[in-house]
């Protein structure tokens, strides 16, 4: 579809403010206070154990691996690598033999091993994440973490409430030489393949299991607020992370949204988009190099960013609301009205 312009009248005035000046973080009310020191979890290196298997005796070594990683192995084997769980065992073993002996995968394993000789940086972040997770959701278990190599299939995923999977080959940094060819159609995402986003992605998969995704027929407002809830919860779980990193915006992209917040709001109002239920409205809240209908200098999913600001405003107006309370709120109009959201101008 042809991209339309915001219109000169919407961008006649620019507002220049630092990305942290106009946004004040307000933390949601905790159900209990859990300290970092009270959090215990394990990080297991599945990729090391997998590539340590003898390729000539996988019929012996793989069952041992499955026994060590019972829940993770099944998801990795059947869903990520998409090896059928039924059929000829010889064919299955040949597939796994190819996976661990293929020179490209061996090279990838070596690159990952060098880049992530240890994961101390991640453990520190996860201590914060899991302590806040238990503070807001005390009924949830503290997850363990298992790393792997997925041949660039996925970054993070949950196996259950108690286990997070991380594919380390998705965090080798934007200069990793093979990303450009592998992600030709999604080159705008390559800068996000960095280890600084690893804990944020872990929080994201946990929170996505908590926040119910709106139906395809829901309003754009509901879709915006669902995304906004996710970002708001993540900033509560990882208050040490920069807000632009939570949504994976560069400083420049974040500044675009802050500087043009009134114009962004006006665009959605004047186009009568909030209550639109057409499926194509996902384009305002999903990943992209830019946002449909906005200047080429805009980042993707500006609608999700705006939803986040509305949720922030709502929580500021309702300081006794817990994250569990927020998740249970499904009336988008009620949230918008009670947020008293009004874009800031300078």
pLDDT over 90, % of the chain: 84
Q: Which one is predicted more confidently, 83 or 239?
A: 239
Torsion from C-alpha of 7, 13, 18, 23, nearest 10 degrees: -70
Each residue of 17-65: pLDDT tens digit? Answer: 333 333 446 799 999 999 999 999 999 999 999 999 999 999 999 999 9
Q: How far, in Å, CA of 243 to CA of 224, rounded?
A: 17
Instruction: Record the pTM.
Output: 0.90
By the 8 A CB rule, do 155 and 194 touch?
Answer: no
Range with the poorest average pLDDT among 227-241, 262-276, 332-346: 332-346
Q: In the structure encoding, which two tokens stand for residue 175, read together?
A: 């200069």
Indicate whether 245 pLDDT > 90: yes
Angle ∠(203,206,208) on CA atoms, nearest 5: 105
The predicted pLDDT at position 344 comes to: 76
Q: What's the pLDDT at 25?
A: 63
Backbone angles phi, psi at 27, to 5 degrees: -80, 140
Give the model confidence (pLDDT) of 107-116 as tens digits.
999 999 999 9
pLDDT reported for residue 82: 86
Residue 96 has which token pair?
């796994």
Confidence of residue 139 (pLDDT cuts 50, 70, 90): very high
Q: Buried b / exposed e across 292-316, counting CB within 10 Å, b at 16+?
A: bbbeeebbbbbbbbbbbbbbbbbbe
- Residue 280, SS3 per DSSP: helix
pLDDT at residue 137 greater than cutoff 60: yes
pLDDT at 86: 63
pLDDT score of 121:
95
* Strand-pair partners of 53: none
Enter the tokens of residue 213: 């995704």
Write the DSSP assignment of 299-314 as a string of letters: -S-HHHHHHHHHHHHH
Q: How far is CA 177 from CA 61, 104, 167, 184, 259, in A?
A: 33, 13, 17, 12, 35
What pLDDT is recorded for position 6? 37
Q: What is the pLDDT of residue 263?
A: 96
Q: Which residues pair with 156 in a beta bridge?
A: 166
User: 154: which residues sit within 8 A by CB, 6+ positions away?
Assistant: 80, 165, 167, 170
Task: Determine contact, residues 155/200, Cβ cutoff 8 Å.
Answer: no
> Which of 74-78, 262-266, 296-300 shows the lowest per-residue confidence on average (mean pLDDT)?
74-78
Mean pLDDT score of the chain: 90
Average pLDDT of the residues in 150-155: 95
Residue 166 has pLDDT above 60, yes or no: yes
């Amino acid at each position: 579809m042809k991209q339309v312009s915001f219109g000169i009248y919407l961008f006649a005035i620019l507002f220049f403010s630092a990305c942290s000046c106009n946004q004040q973080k307000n933390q949601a009310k905790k159900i209990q206070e859990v300290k970092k020191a009270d959090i215990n979890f394990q990080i297991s290196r599945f990729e090391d154990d997998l590539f340590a298997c003898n390729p000539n005796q996988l019929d012996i070594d793989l069952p041992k691996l499955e026994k060590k990683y019972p829940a993770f192995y099944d998801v990795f084997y059947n869903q990520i690598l998409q090896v059928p769980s039924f059929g000829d065992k010889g064919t299955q073993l040949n597939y796994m033999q190819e996976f661990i002996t293929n020179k490209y995968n061996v090279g990838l394993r070596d690159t990952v091993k060098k880049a992530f000789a240890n994961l101390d940086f991640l453990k520190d972040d996860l201590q914060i994440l899991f302590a806040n997770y238990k503070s807001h959701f005390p009924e949830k278990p503290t997850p363990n973490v298992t790393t792997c190599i997925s041949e660039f299939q996925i970054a993070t995923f949950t196996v259950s409430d108690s286990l997070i999977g991380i594919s380390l080959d998705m965090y080798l940094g934007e200069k990793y030489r093979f990303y450009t060819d592998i992600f030709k159609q999604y080159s705008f995402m390559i800068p996000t393949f960095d280890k600084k986003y690893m804990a944020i992605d872990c929080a994201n998969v946990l929170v996505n299991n908590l926040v119910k995704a709106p139906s395809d027929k829901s309003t754009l407002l509901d879709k915006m607020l669902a995304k906004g809830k996710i970002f708001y919860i993540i900033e509560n779980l990882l208050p040490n992370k920069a807000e632009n990193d939570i949504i994976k915006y560069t400083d420049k992209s974040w500044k675009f949204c802050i500087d043009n917040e009134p114009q962004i709001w006006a665009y959605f109002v004047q186009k009568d988009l909030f209550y639109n239920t057409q499926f194509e409205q996902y384009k305002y809240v999903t990943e992209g190099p830019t946002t449909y209908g906005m200047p080429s200098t805009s980042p993707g999913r500006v609608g999700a960013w705006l939803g986040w600001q509305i949720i922030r405003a709502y929580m500021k107006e309702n300081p006794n609301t817990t994250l569990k309370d927020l998740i249970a709120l499904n009336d988008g109009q009620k949230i918008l009205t009670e947020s008293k959201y009004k874009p800031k101008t300078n």
